[in-house]
Amino acid sequence: MSYSDAELEALARDLESDGVERKRSLSDKDRVAQAVCAFANDMPDRRRAGIVFLGLDDAGNPAGTPIDDRLLLDLAGIRADGRILPLPVMTVEKRRLFGSDIAVVIVRPHNDPPVRYDGRVWIRVGPRRAIASRDEERILVERRQAADLPFDKRPVRGSTSADLDLSIFTNEYLPRAIAAETLAENDRSIEHQLAALHLTSRDGTPNAAAILLFGRDPRYWLPGAYVQFARFQGRSVTDPIADQKTLTGTVPNLLRRADDLAAANNRVATEVAGHLTEVRAFDYPPDALRQLLANAVMHRNYETSHAPVTWYQFDDRIEVHSPGGLFGQVHEENFGRPGASDCRNPTLAEGLKVLGFVQRFGMGIPLARKLCQGNGNPPPGFAFDRTSVSATLRRRLGAISSP
């Protein structure tokens, strides 16, 4: 929704509105993020966007705050840093209001509440913010819109909570996803917690993300949920295979196993630099490969493709192929640019962020490029077609034969 300058000025001066917050500056970024979270939850059920004005005092008058590109990027970064989950739907822009530059953050109500900031559900209670109670969380869960959900949010019919390893959920996931004081309320059932974290439908059926994160046998329900590894003695898939593995299980366990396998197939050389300083250099930067594999399993198409993610290692390169073409607002021209991100599987992405496999949304490819440069590798290459995205890491310049 777009607003005219006159509409924004009227909202800014409406001191009774529960859909507006005014901030002089970004000195307390947490409070701005809490406001974004609260507007995304739309507890009053206004079904209209909430607005944060930055550069106005409490009366709606310009505060003289400089609104530069760095401030706008910091505001936009609130969405991508992964502290608000699921990702809010918001825009950030600079507008000329009351004769001054003002930053305007417009937050739309989320289709899949509750939304959390640092593990807490923030809501609007009249003109102020508050942390939602258990009953208020239930209201938000019941308000979800069932239509047009991403595939990983859709219930996996026939599955039940017995198909999930709930010990992983309670011992590993919950302490990372939910604030400690909320967990201390011991009257929250497992069913409520699963639903509040977007992992089950209203009737308690696990969705695809829950199966991928905690399922006892993810491939039973989602046949493509695995990674196929092969190392070739040469530079072509027609050369002899030196080793091959099929990595199965939950996505977190699959990525952990991938780390071990990558380490076993990635030689490291110790080189002497200036002043007899020893420098360790890998054929392939481990964190770059980790980023590419995490992206491949996180963004792949689980809905209509039963093909695995394939990870091929040749004498001169590694190739990772992910089923499913580019998604949403990402296209070949903006692929891998900071801020150009979209998510085919947002709940799976949220889970991997909670568990520490993703540090910041939209930064995996830029980070892989930086790591390759620092290790002496050529930049990673990417290829796209309608049904797949492929990434190629080339061996470090000056490295000798592969292991």
Domain that holds residue 326: 227-394
Token pair in block for residue 189: 């059932």
**Spatial CA neighbour of 214 closest among 229, 196, 194:** 194
Give the CA count within 13 Å in the CB-facing half-sphere of 149: 21
Residue 299 lies in a domain: yes
pLDDT, average across residues 110-133: 90
CA-to-CA dists, residue 124 to 40, 120, 121, 329, angstroms: 10, 13, 10, 30
pLDDT tens for 182-191 read 888 767 789 9
At a CB cut-off of 8 Å and minimum separation 6, what does 326 contact? 332, 335, 384, 389
Domain boundary among 83, 106, 130: 130
Domain boundary among 77, 101, 130: 130
Kindly state the helix (H) or strand (E) to which residue 96 belongs, with its residue range: strand 89-97
Question: What is the tally of structural domains in the chain?
Answer: 3
pTM: 0.80
pLDDT(401) > 70: no
209 with 289, same domain: the answer is no
Last residue of a domain, one of 170, 186, 221: 221
CATH of the domain at 33: 3.30.950.30
Residues 79 and 30 in one domain: yes
Are 213 and 248 within one domain? Answer: no
Inter-axis angle of helices 346-354 and 251-264, to 10 degrees? Answer: 60
Residue 403: pLDDT band by 50, 70, 90 thresholds?
Answer: very low
Buried b (16+ CB within 10 A) or exposed e, 297-322: bbbbbbbeeebbbbbbbbbebbbbbb
pLDDT in tens, 45-100: 888 999 999 999 999 999 999 999 999 989 988 988 889 999 899 999 999 999 99
